Amino acid sequence: MIDLHLHTTASDGELSPDALVRTIAAAGIRTFAVTDHDTLAGVPAAAEAARAAGLEVVPGIEITAVHEGRDIHVLGYFLESSSELAEFLDLQRVDRRRRLVVMLDRLESLGLPVDRAPLEGKLASGGAVGRPLIAAALVAAGHATDTSDAFNRFLGEGRVAFEPRVGATPASVVSLIGRAGGIASLAHPGKITDQGLIPDLVAAGLPAIEVYHSEHDAAAVAQYRRLADAHGLLVTGGSDFHGPDAFRAEFLGRVGLPAEDYARLREAASRRAARG
């Protein structure tokens, strides 16, 4: 099985890269990509563990862009070393820290303090921190019953501690991934509120779209497959697994990318690499 959407403790996943590799191998996944949010920090350890386990790994990332005040996630695959990408991710972490501090300060002012040290330590080590980890900290502090409760009452859009993100546009992120030698894919398009953004991104050069995802039902898969076929887009897919106790955990080993789509993706990456 092929799963090109997985997360580790480098961002908001529950498992370290080596633990993730053991878990996905047990689930029958033989080809995978670590796609942590706004960081490549988990890729080297995952690649080393994959070699030892005889699995194929694709260098990946999930970059957060912003469109009309909302997060839009863009996956990147087969990335090469790039100083421009590294500088961009540094800026992403700066804004993540700004946003983290604002939300934690608001929570504290509401009488809902949490332990900041683990969150700030993850940022300092090159990892990425987002609202799911703040939600988990709220649960650990006894301020919320679970992460859904934390989002519903405190962290969701329009809630008392919410702080909007500041960032690059989706089109600029697609272009950045291309300049870094990678292939950009629009993540989980079924979760995007403004569906009109998708044809705009296609017109701007988006090369791929995530058709297969844990939150895409059969109708959504068919819809985005038709869109991919109509515009000559490559197709990606994966479970978006964050850990055994996280939302969507049951889809690991059940949602993945068909082999023929992966073959086209690899071929496109090889052509791009040959062009330099």
**H-type alpha helices, 74-205:** 83-109, 117-124, 131-140, 147-150, 170-179, 197-203
pTM for this predicted structure: 0.88
- The per-residue pLDDT for range 49-108, each reduced to its tens digit, is 999 999 999 999 999 999 988 889 999 999 988 999 999 998 988 888 888 899 999 999
β-strand partners of 6:
34, 241
Instruction: Please provide the average confidence, as pLDDT, over all residues in the chain.
Output: 93
Handedness of CA 168, 173, 175, 180 (dihedral sign): positive
For residue 274 the two structure tokens come to: 């040959």
- The per-residue pLDDT for range 208-217, each reduced to its tens digit, is 999 999 999 9
Residues 255 and 213: beta-carbon distance below 8 Å: yes
For residue 152 the two structure tokens come to: 């519903």
DSSP for residue 255: S
Q: What is the identity of the amino acid at 86?
A: A
Percent of the chain at pLDDT exceeding 90: 79
Residue that the structure tokens 């002012």 belong to? 109
Residue that the structure tokens 């332990």 belong to? 115
For residue 79 the two structure tokens come to: 């990335």
Residues 28 and 262: beta-carbon distance below 8 Å: no
Query: In the chain, what are the domain boundaries?
Result: 2-88+183-275
Quickly list DSSP for 118-135. HHHHHHHTT----HHHHH
Query: What does the alpha-carbon distance between residue 41 and residue 43 come to, in Å, rounded to a whole number?
Result: 6
- Statement: 2-88+183-275 belongs to CATH 3.20.20.140: yes
